[in-house]
Chain A
Amino acid sequence: DMKVTQMPRYLIKRMGENVLLECGQDMSHETMYWYRQDPGLGLQLIYISYDVDSNSEGDIPKGYRVSRKKREHFSLILDSAKTNQTSVYFCASSLRLSQNTLYFGAGTRLSVL
């Protein structure tokens, strides 16, 4: 079954706390992505991972870091979360060597108080 799984689905944190968002996929896709979605702004790219330990900044990487130690797993880390990082975060994956589309996870709704 082709699936992108995100955990947790909902998360509430206090400002200054560390946040770990996890994403897994079972399609052996090389490329994985983290996006955030805010009203009126669509989906903004935070980071891309081309494979294990091969990550690249997207358009809004400030305040975030990522980790990919296994092809099927991609983590987004917020060190000392800020209130303006309250958002819905989506993980996605795709096959690199084709014009294939993105497969999205269900999203994680993060509130930083």
Chain B
Amino acid sequence: AQKVTQTQTSISVMEKTTVTMDCVYETQDSSYFLFWYKQTASGEIVFLIRQDSYKKENATVGHYSLNFQKPKSSIGLIITATQIEDSAVYFCAMREDNTGNYKYVFGAGTRLKVIA
């Protein structure tokens, strides 16, 4: 069964610094998709960035990038030049490609606080 684990409950960083949030996953599928989502203080959940398991290059979108280490089943989210508005809860998620069940499984989330 697929599983996603985020061990960092909460992180605080100074504004304009770089932060990395950890995520490890478990799957028996040879092909899968990994996602990071952001939940703002209002409760809104938005998609940030995706990594396809067959791609070796780390995905990058704006000031978000991923550190995909397939042998370690790890997909870290890196936020560079953090801003106050990056303060939120960040969820890691996975969807297997070959099972046909289209289930997205989420980690418990990491709360990020960016301090001025």
Chain A residues with a Cβ under 8 A of chain B: 31, 33, 35, 40-45, 48, 50, 56, 58-59, 88, 90, 92, 94, 96, 99, 101-104, 106-107
Given the complex, which residues of B lie within 8 Å of A58, measured CB to CB? 103
Select from chain B the residue with minimum beta-carbon distance to A97. B102
Q: How far is the CA of A41 from the CA of B91 in the complex (A)?
A: 11
With beta carbons under 8 angstroms apart, the residue of A44, A96, A103 that contacts B102 is A96
- The distance from the CB of B40 to the nearest CB of chain A, in whole angstroms, is 11
Given contacts A44-B106, A88-B43, A94-B104, could you give 4 more A-B pairs where the C-beta distance is less than 8 Å? A31-B102, A43-B106, A99-B95, A102-B35
B103 & A43 in contact (Cβ 8 Å cutoff): no
Select from chain A the residue with minimum beta-carbon distance to B6. A42
Q: Does B52 contact A (CB under 8 A)?
A: yes
Q: Does B108 contact A (CB under 8 A)?
A: yes
Residue picked from B6, B43, B97, B101, most chain A C-beta under 10 Å: B43
A50 & B102 in contact (Cβ 8 Å cutoff): yes
What are 25 pairs between A and B in contact, CB < 8 Å?
A31-B102, A35-B106, A40-B9, A40-B108, A42-B6, A42-B109, A43-B93, A43-B106, A45-B104, A48-B101, A48-B102, A50-B102, A56-B101, A59-B105, A88-B43, A94-B102, A96-B102, A99-B50, A101-B47, A102-B35, A102-B37, A102-B93, A104-B37, A104-B46, A107-B45
* A99/B33 contact (C-beta < 8 A), A88-B43, A106-B43 known: yes
A104 & B44 in contact (Cβ 8 Å cutoff): yes
Q: How far is the CA of A41 from the CA of B108 in the complex (A)?
A: 5
Select from chain A the residue with minimum beta-carbon distance to B36. A101
Q: Does B76 contact A (CB under 8 A)?
A: no
A42 & B45 in contact (Cβ 8 Å cutoff): no
- The distance from the CB of B96 to the nearest CB of chain A, in whole angstroms, is 11
With beta carbons under 8 angstroms apart, the residue of B46, B50, B101, B108 that contacts A42 is B108
- The distance from the CB of B75 to the nearest CB of chain A, in whole angstroms, is 14
B97 & A102 in contact (Cβ 8 Å cutoff): no
Task: Write the B62-91 contact mask toward A (1 if CB under 8 angstroms, else 0).
Answer: 000000000000000000000000000001
